[in-house]
Amino acid sequence: MLNIRRTSAFLVSLTILLQPAMVFAGEWGLPDTGDISRGTFIRAAARAFELKANGKDTLPYRRVPKDMAEVVRAVHERDALELFGKDLRLAAAITRGEAIQIAAILAGLGQSGDGETDFRDVRDGTALARAVDVAIDQEWLVPARSTQFGVLQSLTGIEAEKMLKKASGRAGQQRKESGDSMTTQTIRIKLPPKEKTTVVPKSDILQTVWQLINDEYLYTDKVSADEAAYKAIEGMVESLDDPYTTFFRPVKAQNFRNQIKGEVTGIGAQVEDKSGILTVVTPLRGSPAEKAGLLPGDEILAADGVSLAGLGFLEAVEKVRGPKGSTVKLTIRRNGTEFTVSVMRDVVTVPEIEISMQEGIAIVRIMQFGQTTDTKLRSEMEKLAATQPKGVILDLRNNPGGLEHAATMVVSNFLPKGSVVSIIKSRNSTEEHRTVDHPTFDATVPLVLLINGGSASASEIVAGALQDTKRAKLVGEKTFGKGTVQAVLQFTDQSSLKITIAEWLTPLGRKIDKVGIEPDIKVEYSTQRDEQLLRALELLRR
């Protein structure tokens, strides 16, 4: 796995932490974190509604494990599984749309609602539309955005737990979790009716070509409906010429979801692009790269005999990455000498946060804005604040970004509650993202941020917010300039679309995309010693 200098998604960092062990919450066996499968939701729904199977007839579905037969039968007898057809695909992730349809039927609300919504991802008059009406009315789920409910997004364990409590009439009977103490208000926005439905361009020609291929093409063994469809979708997305908008086929989509969860494999080196050459910043401790003897400053010229020259940064990185257990032969240049080294790829655990003290000054290094930063950094900062350091250095160098919420959480440690962190502008709306917690550090504690060209996306959100408010001095080099927001939508065949939906600005409205953030004090990188860190320490000693 590579800790990458640049990021291809605002919502996730390409520097990934290995996923922690799954934790189960509640009496229905739902996971505390991550997406859940259809089988897990069906089992939880049967328990929530206290369903028992009445008959013993053969189930009309393929491949139902024996340990799932009774709960599947119980839900099936309520006609709640018809949306899946004959193959339940119990291991597949369940979508929010599928879950609310099942819950609506089990709650006796399957025919409720007028079937008319203003969400672009829901077709009026359908069972899904009626279920969305119910979910909104009963406050089961919050819409993903004002214009999209998010029916194709995977359902998380936390969402399922809260929804089933409300749907089964048991909300409030169990011990409240920390998240339940917050009131969520759902606001429905009426949009003007669509004058027409956007159709696929040249759809008549596409249909005709596909028909001719099926009827006339000689080599029938080469005709694949899935391949043809995926190629067409990929071409449509590539026509946008947006490096951050990508269509993932099912296998790549799963790999992408694994990146979000921290299940990424590779050689375990933090790399960056230096003058068009993929260069090792540092191999991670205990990683395959370290075991193979790679050192900081090593230049990766080729992978398995394929030159990386002329490739884009992410394309070069993908040549080095690969599945666990596979071996990649790298051509390395070190101090002018070229040699080859073989590295066996593996799952690598990346430390997300490192905290140290130097001369009474706290140094907090964040390698990515992932789940660990989002959920654990605040408690660590509270402990750190209790030691009353002379100042804090927040090191975001070579941090490619990650979860926007994690960035907001980091900022909340230093700015008053309710402070604007970023402004998100989409085609139809403008939103301000604000801190929701009180700061852990008093405003009198000086703060310095270290940034460089590898600081991107969520890192730039933090830097921009703290610079605009004059809460921190920024030291180092200009940041990368990644100021767009992506959403990831998962489809029923487990393929996904990552699409640019908005851009973000700093609290003062500064544009970051392709611009970056300039440091207050410019200090260039040195291979001899860390001049940037030394300058930050000097500022805080005053």
What CATH number labels 265-347? 2.30.42.10
CB 308 within 8 A of CB 316: yes
191 pLDDT above the threshold of 50: no
What's the pLDDT at 189?
Answer: 31
194 pLDDT above the threshold of 80: no
C-alpha 134/C-alpha 170 separation (Å) is: 17
- Could you say which of 482, 495, 496, 498 is catalytic? 482
186 pLDDT above the threshold of 50: no
Active-site residue, 457 included: yes
162 pLDDT above the threshold of 90: no
The set of residues, in sequence order, having a beta carbon less than 8 Å from that of 410 and lying 6+ positions away, is: 366, 369, 373, 377, 394, 462
Greater pLDDT, 177 or 360: 360
- pLDDT > 70 in the chain, percent: 85
Q: What residue ranges do the domains of the chain occupy?
A: 27-173, 265-347
- Could you say which of 8, 154, 457, 496 is catalytic? 457
What's the pLDDT at 182?
Answer: 25
Active-site residue, 168 included: no
CA end-to-end span of the chain, whole Å? 40
Active-site residue, 468 included: yes
The set of residues, in sequence order, having a beta carbon less than 8 Å from that of 42 and lying 6+ positions away, is: 68, 71, 72, 75, 81, 88, 90, 102
Residue 223: CB atoms within 10 A of its CB come to 12
What's the pLDDT at 442?
Answer: 95
Residue 237 pLDDT level (bands cut at 50, 70, 90): very high
Backbone angles phi, psi at 274, to 5 degrees: -115, 110
What's the pLDDT at 142?
Answer: 85
Q: State the sign of the Cα–Cα–Cα–Cα dihedral 31, 32, 37, 38.
A: positive
What's the pLDDT at 414?
Answer: 97
Kindly report, residue by residue over 436-463, the tens digit of the pLDDT.
899 999 999 999 999 998 888 899 999 9
Average pLDDT over residues 207-228: 93
What's the pLDDT at 253?
Answer: 79
Query: Would you tell me the crossing angle of helices 225-238 and 203-216 to the nearest 10 degrees?
Result: 150
Kindly report, residue by residue over 251-288, the tens digit of the pLDDT.
777 767 666 555 567 898 878 777 788 988 778 778 89
Average pLDDT over residues 214-222: 93
Range of weakest confidence among 162-166, 176-180, 240-244: 176-180
The continuous run of DSSP H or E covering 102 comes out as: helix 96-106
The set of residues, in sequence order, having a beta carbon less than 8 Å from that of 171 and lying 6+ positions away, is: 162, 165
Kindly report, residue by residue over 284-323, the tens digit of the pLDDT.
778 899 999 999 889 999 999 999 988 777 678 888 988 8
What's the pLDDT at 23?
Answer: 32
- Beta strand pairing call for 473-476 and 521-522: parallel
Classify burial at 520, counting beta carbons within 10 Å of its beta carbon; exposed 0-12, middle 13-18, buried 19 or more. middle
C-alpha 369/C-alpha 410 separation (Å) is: 9
Kindly report, residue by residue over 403-442, the tens digit of the pLDDT.
788 899 999 999 999 999 999 999 888 999 999 899 999 9
Inter-CA distances, 41 with 44, 95, 151, 508, Å: 5, 10, 15, 44
- Could you say which of 468, 473, 495, 498 is catalytic? 468
Inter-CA distances, 463 with 3, 116, 466, 536, Å: 20, 43, 5, 15
